[in-house]
Amino acid sequence: MIRTGLAALAAALLAVASAHAQTPGVSATTIVIGQSVPLSGANAELGNDIRNGALAYFRKVNEAGGVHGRKIELASLDDGNAVPRAEENTRKLVEEQGVFALFGYASATLSRPALPIVEKHRVPFLSPFTGADPMRVFNKHVYNMRGSYAEELEKIVDHFAPLGVKRFSIVYYDDVVGRENFSAVERALKKRNLSVVSVAAWKDRAKPDIEGGLKSIAKGEPDVVILTTLYKATADFVKAAQKAGFGAQMASNSFPGASPLAKELGKQGAGVIVAIVVPPPTKRSLPIVQEYQTAIAKQLGKKDLSFTSLESYIAAKATVEALRRAGPKLTRENFMQALDGLKGYDAGGYVMSFSPTNHNGSSFVELTVLGQDQKFNY
């Protein structure tokens, strides 16, 4: 009787220990991935595109049986593009809901407050939608699936410099990320013995001084204005410049998102250059684009294509590939090891590579020119 009792107690203790050892966010049937993203407010279109792109791929996987028998759930909390809300959302997702990983935050500004929580709980932090330098410094837990803003800004300058263009201005936010963008432009120009002729540095992201910024930029009489701001601010600046008869060429990094920016500008966007970090979502010669178009139409009930949702779709696909490689006994540690082994991973015409010492998966950057009625030229 005593031995039987001891055996029962040992079994109970083993069950408790096993429960405590269970990987957060992973059950026999599900893997829960968390996300803080702007689903309302001025940057809602970008946030919804990020969410829908990921959902489209996860749905495709779930309908095929999931990953090792587990369905993927995306727990999204709205941060309204507000840093305090994003930080609180991260705490809720990790410490209260116990998600397996974090995915697809909409900017470096929203992502950086998550890092202390990520590091404390050793949570994989996947595909922040930013190319900002502060997020690309190596961190064991952070995986960037796209090119950097510095690479984009170099690409923009490199496009114009051979044409004899020498006068460049930049519009940026006067914060950590914005100043890094300014420095990247300065570096690109310095390589060509050039320098910035004027700047507009906005301290308030929510209420940028468009008219004041335009006056500051115009003083330098630039040939090209490089914008690194949210799509609403970028569009407002372009419209104000056109109204004032200011004829400089407008070029933007990918931060505003080519598709939201095109929608915001409408016909007034014709001729604006935008850097892109994934192929065009209309380029059906690529298998990944064909696959994405089918999946996003199924997810949304309509063929609403965007660069942002394609980027998120590709990032979700790489995430699932690492989940598969990690095997049925999933842990955060073996998942990150699987990501570190994604060398030369081809998602269908878009290649990513990670290693234990490099978590920046891609350097793909191209330029697109906005046409009328939200068309893109390459």
pLDDT in tens, 93-142: 999 999 999 999 999 999 999 999 999 999 999 999 999 998 999 999 99
Residue 161 lies in a domain: yes
Residue 11 lies in a domain: no
- Rounded to 5°, the CA angle 363-366-370 comes to 145
- The stretches in the chain having pLDDT less than 70 are 1-21, 373-374, 378
Give the 3-state secondary structure percentages of the chain, helix then strand then coil, rounded to 5.
Answer: 50, 15, 35
The reply to whether 207 and 352 lie within a common domain is no
Would you state the pLDDT for residue 5?
Answer: 55
Residue 2 lies in a domain: no
Tokens of 14: 């083993």
- Rounded to 5°, the CA angle 61-67-28 comes to 125
The reply to whether 123 and 153 lie within a common domain is no
| 8 Å CB contact between 373 and 156 | no
Which CATH number goes with the domain that contains 232?
3.40.50.2300
Would you state the pLDDT for residue 15?
Answer: 44
Question: What CA–CA distance (Å, rounded) separates 34 from 254?
Answer: 24
Residue 377 lies in a domain: no
Would you state the pLDDT for residue 8?
Answer: 53
The reply to whether 268 and 175 lie within a common domain is yes
**Domain closes at, from 276, 294, 320:** 276
Amino acid at the residue 322: A
| 8 Å CB contact between 306 and 281 | yes
Amino acid at the residue 358: N
The reply to whether 350 and 251 lie within a common domain is no
Question: What CA–CA distance (Å, rounded) separates 161 from 305?
Answer: 32
- Give the per-residue SS3 of 266-282: HHHHCCCEEEECCCCCC
| 8 Å CB contact between 75 and 32 | yes
Q: Give the count of domains, the chain.
A: 2
Would you state the pLDDT for residue 6?
Answer: 54
Residue 24 lies in a domain: no
**Domain closes at, from 217, 249, 276:** 276
Residue 378 lies in a domain: no
Question: What CA–CA distance (Å, rounded) separates 183 from 191?
Answer: 12
What does the DSSP 8-state code read for residue 369? E
The reply to whether 95 and 112 lie within a common domain is yes
pTM, two decimals, is 0.89
Which residue is it, tokens 């468009």?
210
Host domain of residue 324: 30-147+284-364
The reply to whether 196 and 299 lie within a common domain is no
| 8 Å CB contact between 258 and 227 | no
The reply to whether 292 and 322 lie within a common domain is yes
Residue 132 lies in a domain: yes
The reply to whether 153 and 271 lie within a common domain is yes
Write the pLDDT tens digit of every residue in 41-77: 988 999 999 999 999 999 999 999 999 999 999 999 9
> Helices 307-326 and 332-340: crossing angle, nearest 10°?
110
Would you state the pLDDT for residue 42?
Answer: 81
The reply to whether 160 and 257 lie within a common domain is yes
Would you state the pLDDT for residue 13?
Answer: 44
The reply to whether 143 and 162 lie within a common domain is no
Among 161, 306, 144, residue whose Cα is nearest residue 223: 161
The reply to whether 70 and 58 lie within a common domain is yes
The reply to whether 166 and 246 lie within a common domain is yes
| 8 Å CB contact between 81 and 106 | yes
Residue 3 lies in a domain: no
**Domain closes at, from 237, 257, 276:** 276
| 8 Å CB contact between 144 and 361 | yes
| 8 Å CB contact between 144 and 128 | yes
Q: How far is C-alpha 65 from the chain's CA centre?
A: 27
